Amino acid sequence: MNLAAFVGRRLAAATVLLVLLSAVIFAATAVLPGDAVSAVAGVDASAARRAEVRAELGLDRPAAERYADWVAGAVQGDLGRGFVGDRPVTEVLATRLPNSLLLAGLTLAITAPLATLLGLWTGLRGGGADRFVSTAAQTLAAVPEFVIAALLVAVLAVWLEILPRVSVIPLGGTPLDVPHALILPVLTLSAVGLAVATRLLRVSVTDVAASPYCEAARLNGVRGVRLAVRHILPNAAGPAVQALTLTTGALVGSAVVVENVFDYPGIGRELQLAVAARDIPMVQGIATALAGVMLAVLLAGDICARLLGAREGHRR
């Protein structure tokens, strides 16, 4: 199967999956439409007023019909309007998603090289340092992100007073206007990401290091940095990239939490606000968009792993 056919098949599968997931998200949020009515009309609204709001929001129609309408709109790039503030969902996505992606990109830029170094080092050396790093990573990965964030706030913002506690971004500006507001969120996300990525890379590296191919290279006198960079890394990268993409889900969750801790104006903060306000269209739109981002990352991971895998076959 050539690459184009492979990508096409995966793309089709991802699209089907996205439609399925959007249906699941819609069903999970649309089963209790009464609550959305009280959120908009107020808890103590009269029955007549409630019926009025219900008709206004289109909630008196059957759920399947509403879902069909929603999908028809979504295909044309219209995800409806939020109950609160009457903002178009797509507009919120367009302004907030780039901020979150910036956070993710910066985290990746810090995590990837560090995790590669630590993974190679611990996977090849073994011994005490390996045990220490592995246990530390395992411990760090178990602690909820907001706790790590709170501890960083306690040390860096309160005790040492070198960083702001919240990420206040001026109205209409981007996070890049106030770079120091990005430090704490990126630091928290990097700590979590590093813990996960190091463990995965280490497993991949030890697998390759135990392979006959590597043994042969070692017997030929290749060792040290040369062994790691020329022989182990190219072979360990494929499985590691694929394993890493599988943890994107966890990192999306981490980003939602971290944005909330630091009031960072990203899509996760918006999602939490929408959940708190029972803003159903906003929740549906954002959750579906995040599922789409997840699927895109998984797809990219599959393609990367395939490209790296082809190279691996050639090298062996």
Give Cβ neighbours of residue 99 (< 8 Å, ≥ 6 apart). 169, 174, 175, 264, 265, 266, 267
In angstroms, rounded to a whole number, what is the distance separating the alpha carbons of residues 289 and 85? Answer: 20
Q: Which of 114, 275, 300, 307 lies at the binding interface for another protein (CB under 8 A)?
A: 275
Hey, what are 166's tokens? 């919240």
- At closest approach, how far in Å is the CB of 94 from another protein? 20
Q: Which of 278, 285, 305, 308 lies at the binding interface for another protein (CB under 8 A)?
A: 278
Nearer to another protein, 120 or 237 (CB): 120
Per-residue contact track with another protein, 290 to 309, x per CB under 8 A? xx--xx--x-----------
Nearer to another protein, 4 or 142 (CB): 142
Q: Which of 46, 139, 174, 220 lies at the binding interface for another protein (CB under 8 A)?
A: 139
Q: Which of 131, 180, 230, 315 lies at the binding interface for another protein (CB under 8 A)?
A: 131
User: Is 188 a residue that touches another protein (CB under 8 A)?
Assistant: no
Q: Which of 61, 165, 306, 311 lies at the binding interface for another protein (CB under 8 A)?
A: 165
User: Is 123 a residue that touches another protein (CB under 8 A)?
Assistant: yes
- At closest approach, how far in Å is the CB of 150 from another protein? 5
- Binding to another protein (CB under 8 A): which residues in 34-63? 35
- Binding to another protein (CB under 8 A): which residues in 197-226? 199, 202-203, 206, 209-210, 214, 218, 223-224
Give Cβ neighbours of residue 44 (< 8 Å, ≥ 6 apart). none
Q: Quick one: which segment of 44-52, 72-80, 151-159, 179-187 binds another protein (CB under 8 A)?
A: 151-159
Q: Which of 115, 153, 181, 187 lies at the binding interface for another protein (CB under 8 A)?
A: 153
- Three-class SS of the chain: CCHHHHHHHHHHHHHHHHHHHHHHHHHHHHCCHHHHHHHHHCCCCCHHHHHHHHHHCCCCCCHHHHHHHHHHHHHCCCCCECCCCCCEHHHHHHHHHHHHHHHHHHHHHHHHHHHHHHHHHHHHHCHHHHHHHHHHHHHHHHCCHHHHHHHHHHHHHHHCCCCCCCCCCCCCCCHHHCCHHHHHHHHHHHHHHHHHHHHHHHHHHHHHHCCHHHHHHHHCCCCHHHHHHHHHHHHHHHHHHHHHHHCHHHHHHHHHHHHHHCCCCCHHHHHHHHHHCCCHHHHHHHHHHHHHHHHHHHHHHHHHHHHHHHHHHHHC
Nearer to another protein, 90 or 247 (CB): 247
Q: Are 278 and 35 in contact (CB under 8 A)?
A: yes
Q: Quick one: which segment of 63-71, 77-85, 113-121, 288-296 binds another protein (CB under 8 A)?
A: 288-296
Q: Which of 197, 252, 305, 308 lies at the binding interface for another protein (CB under 8 A)?
A: 252
User: Is 230 a residue that touches another protein (CB under 8 A)?
Assistant: no
- At closest approach, how far in Å is the CB of 98 from another protein? 19
User: Is 315 a residue that touches another protein (CB under 8 A)?
Assistant: no
User: Is 160 a residue that touches another protein (CB under 8 A)?
Assistant: no
- Binding to another protein (CB under 8 A): which residues in 7-26? 17, 20-21, 24-25
Q: Which of 53, 92, 283, 305 lies at the binding interface for another protein (CB under 8 A)?
A: 283
In angstroms, rounded to a whole number, what is the distance separating the alpha carbons of residues 117 and 136? Answer: 16
Q: Kindly state the number of chain residues that form the binding site for another protein, as judged by CB under 8 A.
A: 71
Q: Which of 73, 164, 234, 249 lies at the binding interface for another protein (CB under 8 A)?
A: 249
Q: In one letter, which amino acid is 282? A: M
